[in-house]
Amino acid sequence: RARREAAYYRATHDGLTGVQPIVRIKNDAPYTAAQMQSVYLDPTARARYDASRQTWSFEQYKGPSEAHPAEDTKVAEELLKSTLGPLMMESKGVGCDVQLTVEVNMDDATFVERNFTDQEIEHCRSQPDPRSSFAGRWCAKEAVIKAISNYAPDLPHLWHGGGGSLKQIEVTPSPSRAPRVTP
């Protein structure tokens, strides 16, 4: 933190005294056109500052991190294409969502409390892999939104945008332990 504060102080001082411009405008993105899709789809991708060239870049970027291997993403994409592709083109009211378990922040109490009912939280935390359980419930809730939105696209927005709570959609285990959406 002290290092960031010192860098901030130096940049502010240099900007106010005219040594450096206060705003530095980039002419190009820090990634190549070939890297763009991989960088956008990898939440762990980070640009690195090259002091010698005084620019940011992804030159050392080698693709998705170990947190979510590329083969996991490929398997999920192929599964969706083979099972739901034709159905999603011909029908209305179909919803599907895939989320990598490492991306579900179950340690964020605000996120959990805003999006899961007490029963869901209790169930997920009692499972051998709580993160997978939270991810599964999150995907089910997102799929419900997509299904309703696809079924009735002319209805006004039923949800409160990207930051809206999903607590009103409850996913509970059925007697067979399969997930079930309850009203």
Q: How many CA atoms lie within 13 A of 152 on its CB side?
A: 8
What distance in Å separates the CA atoms of residue 6 and residue 9, rounded to the nearest whole number? 5
Helical residues (DSSP H) of 29-156, grouped into ranges: 36-41, 70-90, 109-115, 118-125, 130-151
CA 14 to chain centre: 37
Give the Cα-Cα-Cα angle 123, 127, 130 (nearest 5 degrees). 90
What distance in Å separates the CA atoms of residue 100 and residue 49, rounded to the nearest whole number? 29
Per residue in 29-62, pLDDT (tens digit) is: 888 888 777 777 766 677 777 778 777 777 655 5
What pLDDT is attached to residue 117?
A: 93
- Are 97 and 142 spatial neighbours (Cβ–Cβ below 8 Å)? yes
Q: Which run of H or of E encompasses 50?
A: strand 48-50
Per residue in 109-143, pLDDT (tens digit) is: 998 999 899 999 999 999 988 888 898 998 888 88
Q: What is the pTM of this model?
A: 0.50
Partners of 182 in the beta sheet?
170
